Amino acid sequence: MRSAAFYAGQAVFICGSTGGLGQAIVHELCACRVRALVLSARREHILQEQRQYAAAHGVEVQICPGDFTDPKVRALAMSMAAAAGCQCLILAAGQVPAHARDSLEDPAAVEQIFKLNALAPLQFLYENADKFTLGTRIALISSQAALYPIPMLPVYGSAKAALSYAVQALQPQFAARRVKLTFSDGPALCRALLV
């Protein structure tokens, strides 16, 4: 992550804030004295707890509960992020399909994992390309699984590889609009955010 001074006073949108990485980022950003957070994920009770935690640190929080694969949820999230003045957006929602060690993923997971891990973040970029203000930074969380074909993770890894590919291909077009796209496919996920 950038320095605490960079985040102080900023408003930040996080999708997938209720997971391990998201929770760590929320805590880190509160310590950095951000002005406001807009948090989104499906588990509303955790979003409510995060709102209380952040409020105790003097951070104003709005929550947008819902499934990020739903275009209505993405549209609401974007309008809330824009209204709050978020110029840092972190798209961290992701899912590893469940399966036994020696079996393939459930066939239904193939579609669901691509929808969440690849399509939804890309749709969010395309849907809102004209709405991001100059200087916006958007971090997309890929995975090391995108770099090497892992026999246990063919669906997860290929969805993340698609995301990494698309983000790199889109970087110049967004840069021309003064919007910076970053992504991380290595172990230093947090450090690579919003650089």
Ligand X SMILES: NC(=O)c1ccc[n+]([C@@H]2O[C@H](COP(=O)([O-])OP(=O)(O)OC[C@H]3O[C@@H](n4cnc5c(N)ncnc54)[C@H](OP(=O)(O)O)[C@@H]3O)[C@@H](O)[C@H]2O)c1
Q: Which residues bind ligand X (CB under 6 A)?
A: 16-22, 41-43, 67-69, 92-95, 116, 141, 143
Nearest to 78 by CA among 66, 177, 101: 66
Nearest to 46 by CA among 25, 22, 74: 22
Nearer to ligand X, 115 or 176 (CB): 115
Nearer to ligand X, 8 or 75 (CB): 75
Q: How far is the CB of 159 from ligand X (least distance, A)?
A: 9
Quick check: 192 and 164 in contact, CB under 8 A?
no
Q: What percent of the residues of the chain are helix, what percent strand, and what percent coil, each to the nearest 5?
A: 50, 15, 35
Q: How far is the CB of 182 from ligand X (least distance, A)?
A: 14
Q: How far is the CB of 153 from ligand X (least distance, A)?
A: 10
CA distance 161 to 169: 12
Measured in whole angstroms, the distance separating CA 10 from the mean position of its chain's CA atoms is 17
Nearer to ligand X, 33 or 69 (CB): 69
Nearer to ligand X, 33 or 67 (CB): 67
Q: How far is the CB of 101 from ligand X (least distance, A)?
A: 17
